[in-house]
C-alpha cells in the first residue's frame, strides 16, 4: 500500500528516519506551510523566510528524484493553517495505508502526533529522530535519578562513544577541555573575516515577498537575508567556516564587537536545526581539519564541544525533563520584559547593539545571548516565560528543544540548578572586558552607584541581595556572598536604592508604543 510521509519544516534531511524506507513509486511526501506554526509565537521574519525557502528547495529536490511531494503553500485557498488539518486533508486525498513521521523538536507538536494516533483513520508510525548522536532513551537513562545533569560528564561520555578527538581511548593530547584558552579579547583594530552570504534565488525571493506581505508586523528585518537554504549552500557555509574561521574560532569565542555579531562563529545553527546538515558530519569535518593540521586542537575541541556536548545535552535534557521543566521558577522572577528587547531603544548600549544585530540577522552569538540579553534578564528578575518567548521568536535557529534549556536553565537558573551549578550573574566589568560596547555607552561601567553608573553593576549586587535566601548556601557562590556580607549597611542601601529607581523605570510605558510588538 501507499505510505504518507509527513516532513516538518525542521526535518529537511534526506536520510531522516521517516524517509528511510521511502518507496518512490507509491509513497507521497507531505510538506505544509501553515499559519499556526508561523504564529504560535510571532517568529522573526527571517526565521519564517528561512524555513519556507528551505522547505520549498527540499521539496524540489525530492521531486527531482521522482518522489511525489504534496506541498501545501501558505496561500493555498484550502489551507487549514494547522498541521492536523493539513494531514487530515492529505489522508482524504491520497488514501494511504499509514502515516509515517519522525518525532518533532517540540513537546507541543509531539502531543499533536500522539493525538493523531487516536483520531486519524489510519495508523501513525512515530519514529525516533536519527539526526542526533545521543538517542533520547540513552540520555534519559543517564539522567534518571539525578537532580544535577552536568554537561561535562555527558560530553566526555559522548567523546568516548563517538571516538571524536580520541586516541586509543584517551582524549587527543591528553586533555578534555581547552576552555581557558578560549577567552581572548579582540584586539582593537582586528578585522574579522568576510563571510559568505547566499544571494536569495527566485524561490527564496518569492518567499521573502510572501513573508513581508503576510507577516509584515513581526519583529525583524528581511533586507539582509543571506542564510543558506539548500544542503549544497549549507555545505559551502560549513567549508567556508572550516577554512577561514575554525583555525581562530576558539581564541575569540567570547568576544563581542559593535556591528560584527558573526566574528569567527559558525553561523550553522539554522541549517543544523532544520536538518540541512547533520551534527555528525559537522563534527567529523571539524575533526578532519585538526587531523590535517589545518586548525589547532583548542579551536576544534571548543567547536566540537558545542555540538557534540552542548547541543546534544540540551536536547536530551529537554526531553528527559519536559513538560515539567518549563514550569519551574526557582528564583521567583516576575518582572515584565522591557519594551527595549523589541525596540532596542535603551541607553544600555550593549543591549541596544545586541537587539540591533538580532533584528538585522535573526542572529546573535552565544555570549551576546548569554551575557548581554540573558544576564540582564537574570539580574533584573525578568519573568522566565516572557524571556523564553522572546528567545524563541527572535533567532532563526530557535526551537523549543534547544531554546528552553539554554534560557530557562543556563541563563535564568529557573530550573534551580539542574543545568548549571550557579547562576551566570555578572556585573558590567565582564561586558567591558569582552566587548567594545562600554566605550560608546552613556553609562559609565567603572561607576558603581548613582544615575551615571552602569546598571549592570548595582543590579548584580541587588540580585545577590534579593536571592540571598536561595543562593547564599550555594558553594560556588561563596566568594560573592563573602564580599556582600563585608559591605557596610549604607552601601547595601545604596545598591537597593539605585536598583529600585532603575527597575521602576523599566515599566514606564514606552513612548509611542501601545504594547504592540513589532
Ligand atoms: P557557534 O558558536 O559557531 O557554535 C557551533 C554550533 O554549536 C552551533 O551552530 C550550535 O549548533 C552548537 N551550539 C553552541 N552552543 C550551544 C548551546 N548552548 N546549545 C545548543 N547548541 C549549541 N542555539 C540554537 O540553536 N537555538 C536556540 O534557540 C538557542 N538559544 C539560545 C539561547 C541562549 C540564552 C543561549 C545562551 C544560547 C542559545 N543557543 C541556541 C546556543 C548558541 O548561542 C547558538 O547555537 C549559537 O549562537 C549559534 O550560532 P553559531 O552556529 O554561529 O554557533
Ligand atoms: C518554525 C516553523 C514555521 C515558521 N513554519 C512551519 C511551517 O509552515 N511548516 C512546518 O512544517 N514547520 C514550520 N516550522 C517548524 C515547526 O514549528 C517545527 O517543526 C516544530 O516546532 C517542531 O520542532
Ligand atoms: Fe552595557 Fe554597562 Fe557597558 Fe553600558 S556600561 S554597554 S550598560 S555593560
* CATH number for the domain that contains residue 420: 1.10.579.10
Rounded distance from Cα 510 to ligand 2 centre (Å): 32
**pLDDT at residue 315 above 80?**
yes
ipTM of the complex: 0.99
Q: Are both 26 and 48 inside the same structural domain?
A: yes
Whether 256 and 298 map to the same domain: the answer is yes
10 lines ligand 2 (CB under 6 A): yes
380 Cβ below 6 A of ligand 2: no
- H/E segment holding residue 480: helix 478-485
Say whether both 117 and 165 belong to one domain: no
Q: Is the pLDDT of residue 120 over 90?
A: yes
The predicted pLDDT at position 95 comes to 97
Same structural domain for residues 255 and 355? no
For ligand 2, whether the C-beta of 210 sits within 6 Å is: no
**Structural domain contains residue 201:** no
Banded model confidence at residue 515, pLDDT cuts 50, 70, 90: very low
- Of 260, 291, 321, the residue at which a domain comes to its end is 321
Is residue 397 within 6 Å of ligand 2 at its C-beta? no
- Asked whether residue 66 falls in the same domain as residue 102, the answer is yes
Whether 102 and 10 share a structural domain? yes
Ligand 1 pocket, mutate which of 304, 406, 412 (most atoms under 8 A from CB): 406
Q: Is residue 397 part of a domain?
A: yes
Cα–Cα distances (Å) from 229 to 9, 35, 232, 316, in that order, read 12, 20, 9, 27
316 and 346 in a single domain? The answer is no
Kindly tell me if the per-residue pLDDT of 37 is higher than 90: yes
User: Residue 189's pLDDT is what?
Assistant: 86
Q: Is residue 229 part of a domain?
A: no
For range 328-353, the mean pLDDT: 97
Q: What's the pLDDT at 18?
A: 98
Q: Give 337's DSSP letter.
A: P
| Same structural domain, 20 and 140 | no
Q: Does the residue 28 lie in any domain?
A: yes
**Same-domain pairing of 261 and 120:** no
For ligand 3, residues with CB inside 6 Å are 348-350, 428, 431-432, 437-438, 441, 443, 445, 454, 456
What's the 269 CA to ligand 1 centre distance in angstroms? 6
Phi, psi of 91 (to 5 degrees): -65, -40
Examine residue 481 and state whether it is found in any structural domain, yes or no: yes
pLDDT of 454-468, one tens digit each? 999 999 999 999 999
Q: Is 289 in the pocket of ligand 1 (CB under 6 A)?
A: no
Residue 47 beta carbon below 6 angstroms from any ligand 1 atom? no
Where a domain ends, among 103, 127, 151? 127
- Residue 266 Cα to ligand 1 midpoint, Å, equals 10
Verify that 412 and 502 share a domain, yes or no: yes
3 state SS of 102:
strand
Calculate how far, in angstroms, residue 401's C-alpha sits from the geometric centre of ligand 2.
Answer: 13
* CATH code of 317's domain: 1.25.40.80
Q: Residues 65-70: what's their mean pLDDT?
A: 98
The per-residue pLDDT for 177 is: 87
Cβ contact 5:19 at 8 Å: yes
Q: Are residues 393 and 269 in the same domain?
A: no
Residue 49 has a pLDDT of: 98
Asked if the model's pLDDT at residue 110 lies above 80, the reply is yes
Mutate to test the pocket of ligand 2, among 10, 126, 218, 276 (most ligand atoms within 8 A of CB): 10
pLDDT at 518: 42
Cα-to-centroid distance, 86 and ligand 2 (Å): 13
pLDDT at 20 over 90: yes
Nearest residue (CA) to ligand 1, atom 38: 406
Does the pLDDT value for residue 513 go beyond 60?
Answer: no
For ligand 3, atom 7, the nearest C-alpha belongs to: 348
Task: Read off the pLDDT of residues 183-195 as tens digits, 9 standing for 90 and up.
Answer: 788 988 888 999 9
Question: Would you place residue 431 in the very low, low, confident or very high pLDDT band (cuts 50, 70, 90)?
Answer: very high
* Average confidence score pLDDT of the chain: 95
| 274 and 367 both lie in a single domain | no
**What residue numbers bound the domain in which 278 lies?**
136-193+245-321
pLDDT > 50? residue 402: yes
At 499, is the secondary structure helix, strand, or coil?
helix
Angle separating helix axes 455-466 and 478-485, nearest 10 degrees: 100
pLDDT for 507 equals 83
- pLDDT, residue 510, reads 59
Average pLDDT of the residues in 395-407: 98
- Preceding peptide of 133 cis, ω within 30°: no
Residue that is last in its domain, among 127, 157, 180 = 127
pLDDT at 511: 54
What is the model's pLDDT at position 508? 72
Ligand closest to CA 387 = 1
| 511 domain residue, yes or no | no
Number of domains in the chain: 3
Q: Is residue 297 part of a domain?
A: yes
Domain with residue 46: its CATH number is 3.40.50.620
Residue 517 pLDDT > 50: no
In a domain, 167, yes or no: yes
- Give alpha helix (H) positions in 322-383: 340-343, 349-361, 366-367, 375-379
Amino acid at each position: 500500500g501507499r505510505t504518507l510521509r509527513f516532513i516538518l519544516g525542521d526535518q529537511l534531511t534526506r536520510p531522516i528516519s521517516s524517509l528511510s524506507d521511502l518507496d518512490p513509486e507509491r509513497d507521497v511526501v507531505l510538506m505544509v506551510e501553515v499559519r499556526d506554526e508561523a504564529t504560535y509565537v510571532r517568529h522573526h521574519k527571517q526565521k519564517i523566510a528561512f524555513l519556507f525557502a528551505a522547505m520549498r528547495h527540499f521539496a524540489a529536490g525530492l521531486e527531482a528524484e521522482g518522489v511525489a511531494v504534496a506541498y501545501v503553500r501558505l496561500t493555498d485557498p484550502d489551507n487549514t493553517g494547522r498541521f492536523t488539518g493539513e494531514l487530515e486533508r492529505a489522508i482524504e486525498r491520497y488514501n494511504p495505508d499509514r502515516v509515517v513521521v519522525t518525532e518533532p523538536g517540540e513537546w507541543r507538536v509531539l502531543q499533536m502526533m500522539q493525538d493523531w494516533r487516536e483520531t486519524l483513520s489510519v495508523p501513525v508510525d512515530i519514529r525516533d529522530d536519527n539526526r542526533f548522536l545521543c538517542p533520547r532513551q540513552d540520555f534519559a537513562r543517564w539522567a534518571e535519578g539525578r537532580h544535577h545533569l552536568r554537561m561535562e560528564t555527558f560530553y566526555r561520555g559522548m567523546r568516548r562513544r563517538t571516538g571524536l578527538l580520541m586516541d586509543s581511548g584517551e582524549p587527543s593530547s591528553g586533555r578534555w577541555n581547552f576552555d581557558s584558552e578560549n577567552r581572548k579579547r579582540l584586539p582593537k583594530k582586528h578585522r574579522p573575516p568576510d563571510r559568505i552570504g547566499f544571494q536569495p534565488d527566485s524561490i527564496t525571493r518569492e518567499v521573502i515577498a510572501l513573508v513581508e506581505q503576510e507577516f509584515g508586523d513581526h519583529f525583524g528585518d528581511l533586507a539582509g537575508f543571506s542564510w543558506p537554504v539548500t544542503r549544497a549552500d549549507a555545505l559551502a557555509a560549513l567549508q567556508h567556516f572550516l577554512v577561514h574561521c575554525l583555525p581562530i574560532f576558539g581564541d575569540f569565542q567570547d568576544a563581542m564587537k559593535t556591528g560584527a555579531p558573526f566574528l569567527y562563529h559558525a553561523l550553522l545553527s539554522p541549517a543544523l536545526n532544520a536538518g540541512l546538515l547533520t551534527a555528525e558530519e559537522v563534527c567529523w569535518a571539524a575533526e578532519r581539519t585538526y587531523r590535517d593540521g589545518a586548525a589547532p586542537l583548542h579551536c576544534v575541541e571548543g567547536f566540537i564541544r558545542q555540538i557534540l556536548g552542548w547541543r546534544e545535552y540540551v536536547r536530551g535534557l529537554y526531553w528527559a525533563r519536559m513538560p515539567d521543566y518549563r514550569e519551574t521558577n526557582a528564583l521567583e522572577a516576575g518582572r515584565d520584559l522591557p519594551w527595549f528587547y523589541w525596540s532596542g531603544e535603551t541607553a544600555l548600549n550593549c543591549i541596544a547593539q545586541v537587539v540591533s544585530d538580532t533584528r538585522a540577522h535573526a542572529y546573535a552569538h552565544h555570549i551576546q545571548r548569554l551575557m548581554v540579553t540573558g544576564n540582564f534578564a537574570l539580574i533584573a528578575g525578568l519573568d522566565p516565560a516572557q524571556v523564553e518567548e522572546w528567545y524563541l521568536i527572535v533567532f532563526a535557529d530557535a526551537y523549543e528543544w534547544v531554546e528552553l534549556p539554554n534560557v530557562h536553565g543556563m541563563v535564568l537558573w529557573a530550573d534551580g540548578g539542574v543545568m548549571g551549578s550557579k547562576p551566570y550573574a555578572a556585573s558590567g566589568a565582564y561586558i567591558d572586558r569582552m566587548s567594545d560596547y562600554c566605550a560608546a555607552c552613556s553609562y559609565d561601567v567603572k561607576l558603581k552607584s548613582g544615575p551615571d553608573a552602569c546598571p549592570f553593576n548595582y543590579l548584580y549586587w541587588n540580585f545577590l541581595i534579593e536571592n540571598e535566601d536561595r543562593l547564599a548556601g550555594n558553594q560556588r557562590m561563596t566568594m560573592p556572598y563573602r564580599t556582600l556580607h563585608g559591605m557596610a549597611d549604607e552601601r547595601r542601601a545604596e545598591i537597593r536604592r539605585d536598583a529600585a529607581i532603575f527597575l521602576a523605570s523599566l515599566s514606564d510605558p514606552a513612548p509611542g508604543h501601545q504594547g504592540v510588538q513589532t
